[in-house]
Structure 1
């Protein structure tokens, strides 16, 4: 295989070690037969528990209590979507939650989000759970509020970033990515290495901005392909994992470009 001439010799070994013959096949969205944007049937009623203060049945992802405002603990196995009220849990019995089924009721199996809705829900949840709101309730309740507020912040940080969101969804489907995962397509790897060399040699802010603009287009294209993968029924997890590795490389280049100064 002939490599692009712009890739320096110091990268040949890296390319040879990481190259494989399999290249992901990207299918146009219009050709996918099993595209599902969301379930058409009614979402099941979420499991509930009894509020110890007012004895009202409250869905397990709701806190504070909608009846008496008592701060209720949240199960540790809730999805990040349920934490931010973007979804509601679906039980599979034995106090367990079926997160893949829960997400199947969302458009693109949870991948594509309305960022305005995400931010508004996060602000609402932060207001509801801010520790200062419970300052008169004692240290135990204040610490509980801090813990819940931290979980809400983490959910927002993960779901608000396409790469982190993809990696989270892959972990839900038992296909978690790893730092050692490599790009299978040798030509794409060569393209990324070439872009990194261009960035290293950039001598002006205009050159850096041009590289960032091209990189942004690459990122947006991969995000569209991820939407396609998560639109399938069931979601195409293998393809999504391949795309997530590519996205990590291009995001890494973007971060390097932000930090570079000339």
Structure 2
């Protein structure tokens, strides 16, 4: 007897991948410097290397359709090509990097072009239109996989959520309520916001917003260095700083493009 659609979907990733508290629990990522260019795989999920120890390898699960062994990190059954539910990482399922066919241990340095190409390739493999004629179970699983893949892409695409996700892999959580403890930096940000509030001309507003964007770029560079050094506390502090500069950069948007 085949399982029902709801029972399969309940085993899939339960929470939004864009949340600052990501529902994945996997091994700590490598902290040494890595190349910014990721290798692409033929499938949207990467699987553990054959050189990996048995303690880190995921045991196969049974395909819900043909009941043959099926690695929990692959989207399709290698025996019958049935689409599979996405398991949480706590049950051996893929993390966000694996979902996009990238190396299991991610890096903050990332090639955005390679990331987009991996996303497009993965989306093609699990696009719901390709499963319309294969029954309700596969169609709904494809919709769910496509949704999770989309969330994974947008989490890893932008520096702040990518950094937050990498920290979550090491059980370091970044909260919206986290505040800047460096008083001189906090004062600098407050003064920048005040200057933007007081700006009158569109040219002045855009100039200040560009300064804020440049500050955000500097924070992103520092984040890369912090992850390379394995300084997770510094990376967490920089996430908070980057969030403040991002908000400061967006604060004058209505002044430049007023909302009717």
Contact 1:48 1:57 in 2 (8 A): no
Q: Which aligned pairs between 1:51-130 and structure 2 lie closer than 5 A?
A: 51=63, 58-66=70-78, 68-77=80-89, 78-88=94-104, 103=105, 106=106, 110-130=107-127
Residue of structure 2 aligned with 1:236, choices 220, 227, 231: 231
Distance 1:164 1:259 in 2: 24
Residue of structure 2 aligned with 1:246, choices 222, 241, 246: 241
In structure 2, the residue matched to 1:147 is 144
Range with bigger deviation, 63-72 or 78-87: 63-72
The gaps in structure 1 that reach 5 residues or longer are 1-34, 89-102
Q: Which aligned pairs between 1:1-262 and structure 2 lie closer than 5 A?
A: 36-38=32-34, 44=52, 46-47=57-58, 49=60, 50-51=62-63, 58-66=70-78, 68-77=80-89, 78-88=94-104, 103=105, 106=106, 110-232=107-229, 235-261=230-256
RMSD: 2.5
Q: 1:239 to 1:180 in 2, by over 3 A?
A: same
The gaps in structure 2 that reach 5 residues or longer are 1-30, 36-48
Contact 2:202 2:255 in 1 (8 A): no
Q: Deviations over 1:20-45 (max 9, x none)?
A: xxxxxxxxxxxxxxx72249x98527
Q: Which has the larger radius of gyration?
A: 1
Distance 1:114 1:237 in 2: 22
SS at match of 1:113: coil
Q: Aligned-pair distance for 1:67?
A: 5.3
Contact 1:51 1:57 in 2 (8 A): yes
Q: 1:52 to 1:132 in 2, by over 3 A?
A: same
Number of aligned residues: 207
Task: Tell me the TM-score normalized by structure 2.
Answer: 0.72
Distance 2:207 2:81 in 1: 52
